[in-house]
Amino acid sequence: MALLIEDYALVGDGRSAALIGRDGSVDWLCWPRFDASACFAALLGTREDHGHWRIAPAEQATTTRCYRENTLVLETTHETAEGAVRVIDYMPVEDGTHLVRLVEGVRGRVAMRMDLVVRFDYGSAIPWVSRSENDDLRAIAGPNKLVLRTRAPLKGVGQSTVSDFTVEAGKSVSFVLSYGLSHEEDPAPIEPRKMLASTTAWWRSWCQRCHGGTPWDAVLTRSLLTLKALIYRPTGGIVAAPTTSLPEEIGGVRNWDYRFCWLRDSTFTLLALMDAGYIDEARAWRDWLTRAVAGSPEQAHILYGIAGERLLPEIELDWLPGYEGSRPVRIGNAASQQFQLDVYGELFDALFQAHQRGMLADESGVRVGRALLDHLERVWSEPDEGIWEVRGGRKHFVHSKVMAWVAFDRAIRFYDAQISQVHPADEPTAGDAKAVERWRGVRDRIHREVCEKGFDKELNSFVQYYGSKDLDASLLLIAHMGFLPQDDPRVVGTVEAIGRDLMHEGFILRYDTSGKSTDGSSTDGLPAGEGAFLPCSFWYADNLIGLGRRDEARALIERLLALCNDVGLLAEEYDPVRKRQVGNFPQAFSHVALVNTLLNFSRTIGPAKERGGDPDPSGHPGEAPAMHPQAAQSAAS
């Protein structure tokens, strides 16, 4: 069976990623892309039936592991009674599609065992295994092919391949597993040591661009490395996680495919990258956004494939028992067909923030934006499924309305800021002036409606949706969006209410999933139960920072950082009762929230203040603060 979620580490090459357990087993790998079918799917099933690749001592061992400093090269050390070995795992970032595993002798002699069980198509397809003319091991099923190259002895045992070998101090044995298409020539061989050196140098060079300056720079850098590993380099799209169907509650049904790109993460991701000094990655993400949403505004989706795909049908894989029995296992995501108003605000805010930092919009991008705003004018007053993609029916979610306000607000700020001084081609026309006045009216109307219908005076808090008494952690973003100032009594009351009613064992829940809502309906249409959603806890810390409660904020930050596993990775959620990570892993949004919170705590103007500007209660925006000097310098260069 699979290990605890936090017992896994990640290696990747910017196209795909593998999860490697503390015991040396690769239990999840989709090739050749993040969203391709898995050839190792033991994470959601069993190793014997659904595929894995384990290299570990044949006898009992004590294991420690770490990443090489400022890299995604994983080193696992096994200590036995006879000696010690080090297994180095990495995926070359610029040469083909390979997973390399080097076994080095550190002390004495250690008997090792390798077990390779290839199962294509998420564990359902047993390949035909043969030897090539070069004596390489070749596994083929349908269009997929894996080639294993090693000098270690190999033998077939049942429907698996094993190797028993011994490594002495100062000696090493390499294994290189490469992916290719079955109708093409075998992937070209690589030199493992040479590739290790170049891969290590590549990651360390990338890390040198990091702008930290926080008390937790090592954690910050590790989160940025993780985020970089989840960027699909050919397009700039960022997957929410490299996994599917890791449960939000052990044994539950909240198991979703996260190997796609969500628009809801757009601005936070952009700010995290830009403020940490990664302008190229931020620009690639901005460009992916504009390509993904291009087309008919009525057909805008909340999530897309890593190349901008829109057809992501959700199906269940009934042959997989699920992680610790958590079924169903799903691929694809039906939420792609949902209607969510918040994505319009995310998109316009991301494009606005990028523009403020020197990433000028092109003419086609401006036209797409105008078309989307025209559509939003017609639909903002409708109910939607909301940021959490509920399956219990549409409602007038307060966060969704706030984000509709954000869309119009950022469009207005785009023109009010006299962009023509920076880029003459963007100079407003008479038609633009009329549109801006119309947008101003819509923006102010949304603001009044949210304050009237979305705020409950008895609770002294904004609520999840109009007419309800329920709270929602997404309300923690109201000040960060610039909808109201951080010290507005309604914002302060909302923060206090969420800290009182959604805090569970020191962490923030998204909302109450325990049953019926105050209007008698099921909010999300799913059985109750999930862990604490980690980004929400970081948002709560951001509010504490904004309210000047820095000691409380720091205590919460330290509590959250302590949840990172031994190699610095976070899942989507944390189960404070079982005291373990849950949900897809590692989760980009958790690491983005971590980065932004550390920067918020450490800088006078962090991402939260950058995003919101200085609004006033009437709904009219103030001036956005100037970009951080380091980000400005990077943008200029």
* Longest CA span, the chain: 81
Q: How far apart are CA 163 and CA 173, in angstroms?
A: 11
Q: How far apart are CA 284 and CA 232, in angstroms?
A: 10
Name which residue leads in pLDDT, 200 or 302. 200
If you average pLDDT over every residue of the chain, what do you get?
Answer: 90
Q: Which pLDDT value is given to residue 208?
A: 95
Task: Look up residue 437 and give its two tokens.
Answer: 């006045």
Check: CB of residue 548 under 8 Å from CB of residue 535: no
Alpha carbon distance, N-terminus to C-terminus of the chain: 50
- φ and ψ at residue 221, rounded to 5 degrees: -65, -40
Taken in order 459, 465, 468, 472, the sign of the CA dihedral is negative
Q: Which pLDDT value is given to residue 531?
A: 81
DSSP annotation of 555 reads H
Confidence of residue 428 (pLDDT cuts 50, 70, 90): low
Measured between alpha carbons, how far is residue 117 from residues 35, 58, 100, 126, 550 in Å? 21, 17, 16, 9, 51
Q: How far apart are CA 485 and CA 369, in angstroms?
A: 27
Q: Which pLDDT value is given to residue 521?
A: 46
Torsion of CA 58, 199, 216, 480, to 10 degrees: -120
DSSP assignment of 291-316, as one string?
Answer: HHH-S-GGG--SEE-TT-------EE
Q: Which pLDDT value is given to residue 529?
A: 66
Q: Which of 406, 394, 329 is nearest to 524 (CA)?
A: 394
Task: Look up residue 270 and give its two tokens.
Answer: 């952009």
Q: Which pLDDT value is given to residue 297?
A: 83
Q: Is the pTM of this model over 0.85?
A: yes
Q: What are 164's strand-pairing partners?
A: 113
Q: What is the β-pairing status of strands 237-238 and 507-508?
A: unpaired
Confidence of residue 590 (pLDDT cuts 50, 70, 90): very high
Check: CB of residue 147 under 8 Å from CB of residue 138: yes
Check: CB of residue 82 under 8 Å from CB of residue 163: no
User: Is the pLDDT score of 528 beyond 90?
Assistant: no
For 389-411, how does the pLDDT look when each residue is reduced to its tens digit (9 = 90+)?
A: 887 789 999 999 999 999 999 99
Q: How far apart are CA 401 and CA 409, in angstroms?
A: 12
Q: Which pLDDT value is given to residue 630?
A: 39
For 56-83, how does the pLDDT look when each residue is reduced to its tens digit (9 = 90+)?
A: 999 999 999 999 999 999 999 999 999 9
User: Is the pLDDT score of 90 beyond 80?
Assistant: yes
Q: Burial of 431 by CB count in 10 Å (0-12 exposed, 13-18 middle, 19+ buried)?
A: exposed
DSSP assignment of 171-185, as one string?
Answer: -EEEEEEEEEETTSP
Q: Which pLDDT value is given to residue 636?
A: 37
Helices (H) and strands (E) in the chain, counts: 16, 28
DSSP annotation of 82 reads S
Check: CB of residue 373 under 8 Å from CB of residue 439: yes
